[in-house]
Structure 1
Amino acid sequence: MDAFASILSAEMAKKKSATAPKSTSTDTTAATKSDGTSKNGGSKYVRRADIEKARQEQYLADQARLESERAERALKKRKADEEAAAERERQLEKRQRLRDEKEKARLQKEQEEEEERKRKLREKTGATGDTDEDDESKKDGTGLMDESAAVRKLRELNEPIRLFGESNAQRMKRIHRLTGVRKATPPPLSGGELLIDPQNVAKDPSAWPIGVTMVGIHERSAREKLHEKGKSAHIMSDEATRKYLQSIKRCLNFAQTRWPPEDPMQIMG
């Protein structure tokens, strides 16, 4: 009997210990629900207007954030473009400056070389005048004459021995013009010799009439020459010539279609 009582008391103690946590969790859940109900204004339901208002506020906040990010990116891009444009401008200015300096150095070098060449030529020939004029006088054959001989030659020609501002080379050129042999030119014609019979102007040995036919330049019209007996007056009457001309015209048409000219007046056809 005592053993049965002890077993019964042990089983009852186990059941009590198992039911105690359940009651504790139930009390916690009830307390949480009561807190939520108190937070929602004493109601366990939420209005749809409140949910929509919260959604709109969240949407507007997101849109403002996206707009600020977009404006910041646009500002950064504009600054980057301005910096790139400024860098390109600096590069172009630098290239132009280097090009100008190079051209200036080249011109200066050429000028120095030309002066050195003239100096060497003056030292070699012992002349004091302009070297270019001396070269030309040597080509003309008058540079071999000294000043006294030039004065004597001019006096023989009854010419002034010196003109105002005239150098020795220019004096030699003047002597050469006065004493040199002129090139053969056709004799001038008088007005009467220039007149030609107007009836003989239009005679043309070519196969077709050349020139303007509507103002009376030609004696006969092209159609009259076309039907002249025993002669071929038109170039297209020959079959071989016609084929050659047609092939050339096709080539020209293809060329101006493939590579049109810059001037529209040059287009054929």
Structure 2
Amino acid sequence: MDFASLMTKEISKAKPSDTKDKKETGSNNKYQRRADVEAARIAAYNAEQEKLQREREEKAALKRKHEEDELERRREREEKKRKLAEESRKKREAEEEAAERQRRKRLGLPELPPRASEEGTPVPEEEDIDDEELIKKLRELNEPATLFAETHKARLKRYRKLVKRSLTPQLSNGPIPTTLELVPEKDMKIPAKIPKDIDPESRKFLFRQLASYFTMLLEEWAIALAKRDTSVKESFSGRQAFNAMVQSRDNMRPLFKKFETGDIDHTVLEAIVEIVHCAQERRYVDANDGYLRLSIGKAAWPIGVTMVGIHERSAREKLHESDNKAHIMSDEVTRKYLQSIKRCLSFAQVRWPPDDLLQLMG
């Protein structure tokens, strides 16, 4: 074996180990696992987010500090302004008091009494109530005699507030809230006509009766509409009937206001009393006649030429009679509540049908 073959053999033995080392070293430098790459990316992202979060927190803390400083400066300015205003007011009052004292001294008037302190001003003797009597009055009002840590002055203030509240008129819970005290159904019977010499108390009771009757009608109307089936309620006619009830209720509010104040025309009141009286007796045709006389009236309607010649025409004075005035033409409010009364009559004859079928309105 010569030298060349020997060297070739030795080189061939060394080649596999070099290739293996190259593969091992190359795998470490050239190739990486996907998990390692993802972990490195997540770590870099978390580090960046932590850095951004720290920056945001620092900015928020700095902004909050600026706001607190600004609020403190504003509070100090307001406090300073308040103190200056208080000092100016006291100084001005002192100067005015000194000037008034000098004026009184110069004119020989009695001295000015000392100014009472604003805090802890005692209750005047004529307005104060003995503690035992005050507790008794509170118990008569079904109120606790004393509250926790309540002083006599606070108890007296609470009593006056309760008395003031009791004197305030309370509203009813009906469809139309009113300050009139509603009467029970057995006391709603209204006379056919208003007495000529009616006293104020009887007139007020008549207003209470009328308000109670219309309140009962509206409540029964709402109950009747609520008892309908859902299909009927959601239909066009059902919604129209409900809207008519709501509109009538809203339009009758001015009438209730007139009942409360008593400021209602006597002729209108007489007609309403007649309508309600006939409706209570289930004579709906007569009630409808009263409604027509109230709304349209009996005044003659001028047709054609009325002032021809120099001679007085017969029955011409009927054109200008005030007793036959059509009240529905007075104003829009009157027209609306008179129309609502007619709708109430239409419901009443359905809710309380008459014994005589001839008394049914058309």
Question: What range describes the TM-score normalised by the shorter chain of this pair?
Answer: 0.3 to 0.5
Give the structure, 1 or 2, with the largest relative contact order (CA under 8 Å, sep 6 or more): 2
User: TM-score normalized by structure 1?
Assistant: 0.38
TM-score (normalizing by structure 2): 0.29
